[in-house]
Structure 1
Amino acid sequence: MAAPAEKVVVIGAGMGGLSAAIRLAHAGLDVTVIDRAPVPGGKMRTFTTDAGPVDAGPTVMTLRPVFEELFDSVGARLSDYVTLHREEVLARHWWPDGSTLDLYADQAASAEAVGAFAGARARAEFEAFCRRAKRLFEAFDAPMMRAVTPSMGRLTAHVMRHPALIPAMAPHRTLAQSLAAQFSDRRLAQLFGRYATYVGGSPFRSPAILGLVWHAEAQGVWRVEGGMHQLARSLERLARAQGVSFRFETAATRIEIQNGAVAAVYLDDGTRLPAERVVFNGDPAALGAGLMGEALRDALPEAATRPRSLSAYVWSFAAVPHGPEMVHHNVFFCDAPENEFGPIAEGRMPEDPTLYICAQDRGTGQQPDGIERFEIIMNASPSADGAEATDEEKETCRTRTFQTLARFGLTFDPRPGVQWLTTPRHFARLFPASEGSLYGRSPHGLMAAFQRPTARLTVPGVYLAGGGAHPGAGIPMATLSGRHAAAAILTDLASTSTSRPTAMPGGTSTA
């Protein structure tokens, strides 16, 4: 008679938790996912508007093969679960001096646009930057992002075998310093410096190697039909098809440890769920705060979760826009990046912010009339104060956001009220112990990537997944973290058994 399937509880139905649950259930384990929210997605939230659900979380989908590989690993197809549209225009950019620049999925088209925007020298600099970003991405994809546990020793050996990587890495420069050396036009340095914010950092304090983020975006940006939350819904359906059970609107209150190993997970309704393995898909800082029990307070060093990454003020609303013609992804830059990141570093709201706008109903070939859905993001410092933001703070954000856009000629009818705003303090309440930080540990410093926690903890049977764990923030990285957690669990199960515990049709891909 076959032994009962190993019981796994996944705490959190974000992209990392869903990814791990799918793989583990497919391998034959008994998987239950719990989440305090009523729907899956974690930070992939929505607001209800007259135009339909509007995204209030991540907006950019890149690295499509990461998601295709997840579906392929369990014998399914991504295209059967969600409809994706490749964006020909990656993003449209505006500056206060009236200049604009589109970047395209076709690199030659982007190079031509940069030349028209800033001249032949800028075009040559852009092409050199693209080659550099590609070289860095390809060099660090396997030994870092796709490795379950990245090794400084293996990475150093890799770099020593390819010494041309060292000047491309610019190890003693920040991203801002590196870009200032690569681009003679300050607007282009400002544009590519914003990629530090993709992982919650400032270009003035993040390592130069983050320039590789451009290559991830240059490989393709995808619009999810129906909104980004549909991607989370598709993973939920795939998980259910593998036999995963879900319990929404239920919070975990403690992970029970007996004799140094996992025994169960306690829920807020008093239920005790027996478990041999637990995947924690919350902010890793919650463990150090004791939110999952005293036994896990010391499971991570403080450097694994601190310093904290950026937060944001996020508007999610529906309105009729008037002004410049937007595409799906749009960036309205401040006059100088110091005006944005200086105040943020001091814990203040920038008076002259850069604003990102996702025009959710726009995209290649789509220019709707009438009411549309929008998400506007202003970078902000995290907030340890989980109290409700004051009316003054909300109104100040409203004034600065929409007055800034009005200077570009962009207005909305009606101008959204503060009920459509999510503040850093609100994020702190939504995601316990996060302090409102949206990306986990800060990427500041050359060694930040090695300080971020990996899938395995020192407590046997507890694993991490999500944007706060390796390989980091962003939906492709969070999805990869779930793969790493599943691989770690299946490896640990195999190492403690004389025979394979379960059948694994399709296998589990590991680097």
Structure 2
Amino acid sequence: MAIANPAHRPRRPSAIVIGAGIAGLAAALRLARGGMKVTVLERHAHTGGKIRTVASPAGPVDAGPTVLTMRHVFDDLFAAAGARLDDHVTLIKQDILARHFWSEGGQLDLYADLEASVAAISDFAGNKAADEFRQFNARTDRLFRAFDAPMMQAATPRMMELVGHVLRQPGLIPAMAPLSTLSRMLERQFSDPRLAQLFGRYATYVGGAPHLSPALLSLIWQAEAAGVWVVKGGMHKLTEALTQLAMDQGVSLRTNTHVDRIIVKNGTAAGVEMDHGTTISADTILYAGDPCALATGSMGDDLKIVAPQTATLPRSFSARVHSFAATPSGPELAHHNVFFADAQRSEFDDLVAGRMPRDPTLYLCAEDRGQGTPTPKLERFEIISNAPPTETHTPPMDLDRWHHQIMQRMADFRVTMSPTPTLSTITTPQHFAAMFPETQGALYGQSPHGLTASLKRPTARTPIKGLWLAGGGTHPGAGVPMATLSARHAAEAILSGQTSTSTSARTAMRGGMSTA
């Protein structure tokens, strides 16, 4: 029997993934499953990126995203790795999508069941408001279905193709309200201003203000209406599962490893250099961070031609995030709770002007609720308040005053915490700017303001051969599901052309780069 000569075995093409956030992990998993030798380099001591935790007496508290939507994206990811999502994390579907509070105007729950939401809105604001909600739901459902395939599922959406797609569907343009902002459309849609305020909050899911964001963003409601899942134990359990699955597929993970620059030779990405001077060569480089870091030259001057628009376009909002453990008192909380500002517009005027809102809307996640188990006495909480982005790493001077303001605002809604959380539990935009350089602390990449903002995002392919992008700053945009979709777009493109990419990269590598 003939024995194969190992020297004649084809070399597996190699890939370096920079960043182990949700997009980096998802892309690494797909690339490894596709036969590539994958190394993930992460500057922090942990994986997950913005899906992160802080310690508390009740255990790790999420300090980033809190729930899972668009579950099919993650079912698809695990299936692509030959696994089942349910075998690796426990997901609990929520009957109550969110509980909403107004200081003068009651409380409203929205439900996974449409008819339950209609009934709740009818009780809250009357039959007319319930009818308006039905119309809004039908409108946004049509928009979501119309733009899912040509926009979110498409690796490279193009304006002319989208225009043709819209023109072939009579009635879609009025549903889009292309000349309206989200807030103007909602003011026409709902006679009760509280409902316009509620659905305007979806602009903040991508870091924008409703009075400056396109009406098309109303379709975000459908992503939540299709189902909200709590990850048992916290969102970090999802990235922990992906990390382990990727390593089981042979992915090499290096944490506490900072990439100083991406090496480009003859117009082709050829490897990376770490801050201690060591270099690693690879056929493919996937940058899974904010592309603004490339456009500003922080990863090397050769990279400034990548996503240059991100260096000049406005950045999205950031946040101040309180993550702590306490025993609450006051109204019954759901997993998702929103305490609305009394004057919506002033909040966003402050944010656009670069100020912390004087009258903020507060999002409170009661992380141990909705888990299908008895609520412990000491619970884990995350409070999020929108904040402007910043380039500075200097701690803000107003943090003590702001902390007291937030605690008083919660007390106005009769919600108190014992013990009262301290300043040490707050993550600020300054912290985010330090943790994720070149982002200006923005949590969602570039701003979503303007009708064509979504088409200005960079896509997976770059002008530099062998260099690809993925993450929340890349098409199709911010949020855990979207960043995961961006990883799929990048990985599929890389795997479909890995032979030619590998050949050109190896040619560029001739010249003696060391391999770590």
Q: TM-score, normalised by structure 1?
A: 0.95
Q: Which residue identity does 2:401 align to in structure 1?
A: T
| Aligned counterpart, 2:258 | 251
Query: How many angstroms apart in 2 are the aligned matches of 1:408 and 1:126?
Result: 26
Q: Which moved more, 1:404-413 or 1:281-290?
A: 281-290
> Match of 2:322, as an amino acid?
W
Query: What residue is the counterpart of 1:339 in the other structure?
Result: 346
Cα distance in 2 for residues equivalent to 1:23 and 1:189: 41
Q: 1:62 aligns with which of 66, 69, 73?
A: 69
1:10 is the counterpart of 2:13: no
CA distance in 2 between partners of 1:308 and 1:270 (Å): 32
The aligned counterpart of 2:514 is: none
| Partner in structure 2 of residue 396 of structure 1 | 401
Letter in 2 for 1:4: R
Question: Deviation at 1:488?
Answer: 1.7
Q: 141-150 vs 484-493, which deviates more? A: 484-493
Match runs of 1:261-410 below 5 Å: 261-303=268-310, 306-363=313-370, 365-390=372-397, 393-410=398-415
Query: What CA distance in whole angstroms lies between the structure 2 residues aligned with 1:52 and 1:83?
Result: 18
Per-residue CA deviations over 1:418-451 (Å, capped at 9, x if unaligned) read: 1000111111111000001000011000000100
Aligned residues between the structures: 496
Q: Which residue of 1 aligns with 2:41?
A: 34
Work out the CA distance in 1 between the residues paired with 2:280 and 2:310: 31
Aligned residues of 2:295 and 2:311 also touching (Cα < 8 A): no
Instruction: Judge which range, 326-335 or 336-345, deviates more.
Output: 336-345
Q: CA RMSD in A?
A: 1.3
Q: Which residue of 2 aligns with 1:462?
A: 467
Asked if residue 220 in structure 1 is aligned to residue 255 in structure 2, the reply is no
Q: Residue 420 of structure 1: which of 425, 446, 462 is its match?
A: 425
The separation in 1 between residues aligned to 2:115 and 2:250, in whole angstroms, is 46
The one-letter amino acid paired with 1:394 is L
1:162 to partner: Cα distance: 0.2
8 A contact 1:456–1:462 mirrored in 2? yes
Deviation at residue 201 of structure 1 after TM alignment: 0.5
The CA deviation at 1:77 is 0.5
Q: Which runs of 5+ in 1 are unaligned?
A: 499-511
1:496 and 1:320, CA in 2 relative to 1: closer, same or farther beyond 3 A? closer
- Could you tell me how far 1:305 is from its partner in structure 2? 6.2
Q: Which runs of 5+ in 2 are unaligned?
A: 1-7, 504-516
The superposition leaves residues 175-210 of structure 1 with CA deviations (integer Å, 9 ceiling, x where unpaired) of 000100100000000000000000110001000000
Distance 1:304 1:481, change over 3 A: farther
| Residue 88, structure 1, aligned to residue 92, structure 2 | no
> Does structure 1 residue 483 correspond to structure 2 residue 461?
no
Using structure 2 for the length normalisation, give the TM-score: 0.94
User: How far off is 1:364 after superposition?
Assistant: 5.8
In the alignment, structure 1 residue 441 sits paired with structure 2 residue 451:
no
* Counterpart amino acid of residue 355 in structure 1: L
Q: CA deviation at 1:90?
A: 0.4
**Residue 489 (structure 1) shift:** 1.0
CA contact under 8 A between 1:284 and 1:305: conserved in structure 2? no
Question: Displacement, 1:340?
Answer: 1.1
Dislocated runs of 4+, deviation >6 Å: none
Maintained 8 Å contact 1:89/1:364:
no
Please name the residue that 1:501 is paired with.
Answer: none
Query: Is the contact made by 2:141 and 2:222 (CA closer than 8 Å) also made in structure 1?
Result: yes
Structure 2 letter corresponding to 1:82:
V
Match of 1:472 among 453, 477, 480: 477
Q: Give the Å deviation of 1:415.
A: 1.0
SS at match of 1:61: coil
Q: Deviation digits for residues 436-467 of structure 1, max 9, x if unmatched?
A: 10000110000001001100111111111110
**Deviation at 1:224?**
0.2
Given that 1:389 and 1:426 are in contact with CA atoms closer than 8 Å, whether structure 2 keeps it comes out as no
Q: CA deviation at 1:107?
A: 0.6
* SS across alignment from 2:162: helix
Give the 3-state SS of the residue equivalent to 2:305 in structure 1: coil
Q: Is the 1:304–1:452 contact (alpha carbons within 8 Å) kept by the matching residues of 2?
A: no
Q: Which moved more, 1:117-126 or 1:480-489?
A: 480-489
**Distance in 1 between residues matched to 2:277 and 2:337, nearest whole Å:** 46
1:357-396 per-position Cα deviation (integer Å, ceiling 9, x unaligned) = 0100011644524211000000011112122333xx2112
